Amino acid sequence: MNGARTLAGWLTDPPEDAGLVAGAERTRLALRALELGLPTARDEAWRYSRLEGLAEEELMLAGEGPAPTAPQLTALTPEGVRVDRVVVVNGRLMPELCEIGPLPAGVGFGSLRAMARAAQGGLKEAADLLERLDSLCRPDQRMFSALNTALAGDATGLWVPDGVRLERPLLVISLVLPGADALLTQPRLLVVIGRESQASVMEAHGGFGPTPYFCNAVSEFQLGAGARLEHLRVQRDSPAGRRVSGAFLRVEAGAHVRSHTFTTGGRSVRNEFQLELAGAGARGEVNGLALLSGESVVDNHTHVTHLAPDCESRQTFRSILAERSRSVFTGRILVARDAQRTDAVQSFAGLLLSDTARALARPQLEILADNVKCTHGATVGSLDPDSLFYLRSRGIPKALARRLMIHAFCSDMLGRVRTSEMINPLDRLVTRTLAEQA
């Protein structure tokens, strides 16, 4: 049994069984994470995330957790629909809670550690998947990626070979259930979708209880040519939870990815999105909806890179901010010299429900090609009093009219989701969150 230590303490002397890579590589990444260090208040890109005091905080390295309650598990599971799911509690896979039905031939879904054993046993697909670990999340430049690879207990892997269409969505439920001690958890997801294949993957992250925790999530997605992926991510953190969440997506020629992140709660949630449109005609959509109240902060950073011609990117972010919550959106689009006929759109809208809520949008465009269409827009406002009066004048009580308008503000975000099984659970989440905040 380990006692609590600081992040540096864990990195200096990692426990034997931690980490997704072994031996010298693990040691190298731990040292690299130490070298890079946590961002400080002087770090411009991090000045809005609330990571103060994290370096000094004594954390338990996630390990065995209590069994989650049924509501914690089912909150985000579509009702009456078969989905294959992996359940991770405090960073540890819970085999007894996983439900993975028969999958098409060649598809692998489950524990990355189990896959590593399979790879040693000679399973080529497992070896191929493991080879892609860390190939997008830049552990040599990004401290949180190095930290995750060096110390994560396990990860979830998905391998879809070429030409396979998965009919059912795959669900990864990742819960943080701290006991008395503050906790460090590091969910990790590695997804490889083969050429002309199709899948829908949902990550459901939840943190519960009054104990502080720091959750450092890393998800990597590679889409082969012509592949289709919808990635859904729901993050429901407790007011004591801090989260840094990275989604790294690389899309080859003609492939399409749609990634949606729904953030509710949390003391501080940092969402980083890295989208690389690497082959001609690739399309990527990155959407983020945050519903916040109290003192919550969401800090969304996107980094969309157009590397090839004729690619399309869409970024749509919405934040609904009650009480003293805050939202920051920093959206970066980089169009490489060869990425002619790029079509990139970025939009942020903030809805302030109180005088003390704040929203900030910072578009950053860097365009090196000459034939591109690149637009961005940001609006911040409060509920329109004329609309509110219109609804009330028809007999709809004020609180309900407000909820209706707030729901309307985010309805187009739900409307972008294509995985039909997930639309109702997401709508319920939004409705419930709004009701709780009312």
Partner 1 sequence: MLQIHNLHASVAGKEILKGLTLDVKPGEIHAIMGPNGSGKSTLANVLAGRDGYEVTAGDVLYQGRNLLDREPEERAGDGIFLAFQYPVEIPGVPNLYFLRMALNAQRRHRGKPEIPAEDFLRLVSEKLKLVHLEDGLQKRAVNEGFSGGEKKRNEIFQMLILEPRLALLDETDSGLDIDALKIVAEGVNAMRSPDFSAVVVTHYQRLLDYIVPDQVHVLAGGRIVKTGGRELALELEKCGYGWLTQEVTA
* Positions that interact with partner 1 (CB under 8 A): 384-387, 389-398, 400-401, 404-405, 407-409, 411-412
User: For residue 401, which amino acid is it?
Assistant: A
Strand 241-251 with 268-277, pairing = parallel
Cβ closer to partner 1: 102 or 395? 395
Between CA 115 and CA 124, with CA 121 as vertex, the angle to 5 degrees is 65
**E-only strand ranges, 281-325:** 283-292, 297-306, 312-321
Q: Measured from the CB of residue 387, what is the shortest distance to partner 1 in angstroms?
A: 5
Q: Measured from the CB of residue 417, what is the shortest distance to partner 1 in angstroms?
A: 15
Q: Measured from the CB of residue 403, what is the shortest distance to partner 1 in angstroms?
A: 11
User: For residue 380, which amino acid is it?
Assistant: V
Cβ closer to partner 1: 377 or 389? 389
From the list 338, 275, 273, 274, the residue with the least C-alpha distance to 309 is 338
Give the number of residues written for the chain. 438
Q: Residue 339 in contact with residue 372, Cβ under 8 Å?
A: yes
Q: Residue 405 in contact with residue 381, Cβ under 8 Å?
A: no
Alpha helices by DSSP H, listed for 75-195, are 112-120, 124-131, 143-151
Angle between helices 385-393 and 398-415 (to 10 degrees): 120
47/45 Cα distance (integer angstroms): 6
**Cβ neighbours of residue 385 under 8 Å, at least 6 residues apart?**
none
Q: Residue 320 in contact with residue 349, Cβ under 8 Å?
A: no
Cβ closer to partner 1: 376 or 407? 407
Q: Residue 290 in contact with residue 319, Cβ under 8 Å?
A: yes
By CB neighbour count within 10 A (0-12 exposed, 13-18 middle, 19+ buried), where does 131 fall? exposed
Cβ closer to partner 1: 240 or 383? 383
Rg (CA), the chain: 21
Cβ closer to partner 1: 74 or 387? 387
Q: Measured from the CB of residue 27, what is the shortest distance to partner 1 in angstroms?
A: 53
User: For residue 402, which amino acid is it?
Assistant: R
Q: Measured from the CB of residue 319, what is the shortest distance to partner 1 in angstroms?
A: 16
Q: What is the DSSP string of 80-140?
A: T---EEEEEETTEE-GGG-B-----TT-EEEEHHHHHHHHHTT-HHHHHHHHTTTSSS-TT
Q: Residue 297 in contact with residue 46, Cβ under 8 Å?
A: no
Q: Measured from the CB of residue 80, what is the shortest distance to partner 1 in angstroms?
A: 21
Q: Measured from the CB of residue 334, what is the shortest distance to partner 1 in angstroms?
A: 32
Q: Measured from the CB of residue 168, what is the shortest distance to partner 1 in angstroms?
A: 30
412/184 Cα distance (integer angstroms): 35
Cβ closer to partner 1: 373 or 398? 398
Q: Which residue has the tokens 């552990």?
A: 139
**Cβ neighbours of residue 98 under 8 Å, at least 6 residues apart?**
85, 86, 87, 110
Cβ closer to partner 1: 191 or 351? 351
194/192 Cα distance (integer angstroms): 6
Cβ closer to partner 1: 367 or 378? 378
400/398 Cα distance (integer angstroms): 5
Q: Measured from the CB of residue 349, what is the shortest distance to partner 1 in angstroms?
A: 11
Q: Measured from the CB of residue 227, what is the shortest distance to partner 1 in angstroms?
A: 32
Cβ closer to partner 1: 37 or 397? 397
Cβ closer to partner 1: 336 or 405? 405
Cβ closer to partner 1: 159 or 348? 348
Q: Measured from the CB of residue 393, what is the shortest distance to partner 1 in angstroms?
A: 5
